[in-house]
Amino acid sequence: MKRIITKMYLCLLAFCITGGISAQTQNSMTEVIPFETIDGKIIVEATINGEVADFVLDLSGHNALLPEALKKLNINTEKRGTFSSYQDFVFKQVPVGKVYEMGTVAIGKNTFANDLPAFTLEDEPYLRKLGVMGVLSGAVFRTSVLTIDMQRKKITITQPYRPSYMKLNYRENFNLITGLGVVCPINIQGKPISLVLDTWSEGLVNLTEADFNTWNTQYTKGSNQKVSNEYKEISQEEESLILPETMFVKTKIEDAIAVKNPFLKRSVLGKKILDYGIISIDYIHQKIYFQPFDMVPIPEAEAKVTETKVEDGKLNPITRQFFLEHIFDYRKGNDFIYNGDKPIVIDFWATWCGPCMRLLPEMEKLAEKYKGKVIFYKVNADKEKDLCSHFSVQALPTLFFIPVGGKPIIEVGATPEKYVQIIEEQLLK
């Protein structure tokens, strides 16, 4: 009898473990965006205040704009921005000017940020040569998981978990420091060394002069390597070191080299790491995943966005992408105007919210009652953090009642009797 119970327990445990892993990779949003490289830099398309422009993806440091970008991208120069920490490019010698808030920033259909601060750069001919308006840091991805595949020239943005093809055990913790970026470990001869992940800097490991002098006593010297100043076409040859037994996460890095870079104020893990495999940066849970390109096949389904099917008379779950496409695209910075042909009700809820869970059956009844007159939606607040953040949805449940051609009427709390009055008097009048 004990053996039967033990086997049943082990089976149940295995089911829970595998089920937990499967559940963890069920993302509410997956978007694959191609990018190009120019002079080795990752170039992504972004929409700033409704204007489309190209930017260098520089995950470390701050956002920065060329002077001419202020007018082209409709930056409000009357509204100065501030950084909560690191008031300059802490580890990059970059001349900068005033700080402004960028307004609405979007990459693809699902990644959105509002009022991110950005430095204005002094005259930077190299950035103009690249044909970009500036650089974007990792700040725009802070509620997502960013996966970079340099071999296939694609970034994948998911919420709330990593893509399923990134192996769960190929991960490490990292520290996320505002104004600095992802600080992650690279192991040399079994010893973890913390470096800033920098998708701008050439090479694998770029050391400040002080760090290079410290490492110089531990590792064999290599040949001189060329390094460049940040954002400028200034280069020179510098000393290098050969790093033995180098590992990043669980991937061995062959022929690892560290180069002294006098232009840096802090040592970095450069973009050459992207030549060794796919990297996923989980900003939400502060985990970094890294694995060789062909370790796991990438499912075609992960590159497709699932269409949301709306049923009249039902309480329909929707995503931020659906909201942008069918209700209101707030990335363009216009006043909220709903242009649908029927009024709608949106219920922001969460599984941990007791009143939310008790309200859901009542909302389903209302959806059936007003079938053909009002469309009912629900938004999982845990999965759609960007959407909730934009509309300052903090207390749950929060409901939006939106008339045709109008703005949301917002109610907080589970009071279905009040909802009927709003629907009758303000949505169907």
**Annotated catalytic sites, by residue?**
353, 356
Residue 77 is encoded by which pair of tokens?
């120069």
409-415 own/partner pairs: CB under 8 Å, 24+ apart: 413/355, 414/355, 414/356, 414/358, 414/359, 414/362
Q: Which residues contact 173 (CB under 8 A, 6 or more apart)?
A: 286, 287, 288
Contact 159, 110 (CB under 8 A): yes
Q: Which residue in the block uniquely carries the two structure tokens 């995950």?
A: 59
Contact 202, 258 (CB under 8 A): no
Give the single-character DSSP code of 427. I
| 3-state SS class at 363 | helix
Residue 138 is encoded by which pair of tokens?
């990792």
First to last CA, the chain: 68
Q: E-assigned strands of 102-218?
A: 104-107, 111-114, 117-121, 134-136, 145-149, 154-159, 171-173, 175-177, 181-188, 191-197, 205-207
d(CA 373, CA 393): 26
d(CA 174, CA 105): 25
Q: Which residues contact 199 (CB under 8 A, 6 or more apart)?
A: 42, 57, 58, 59, 60, 148, 271, 274
CA distances to 102, 166, 168, 245 from 187, rounded to whole Å, are 37, 20, 19, 8
Q: Which residue in the block uniquely carries the two structure tokens 């990752």?
A: 42
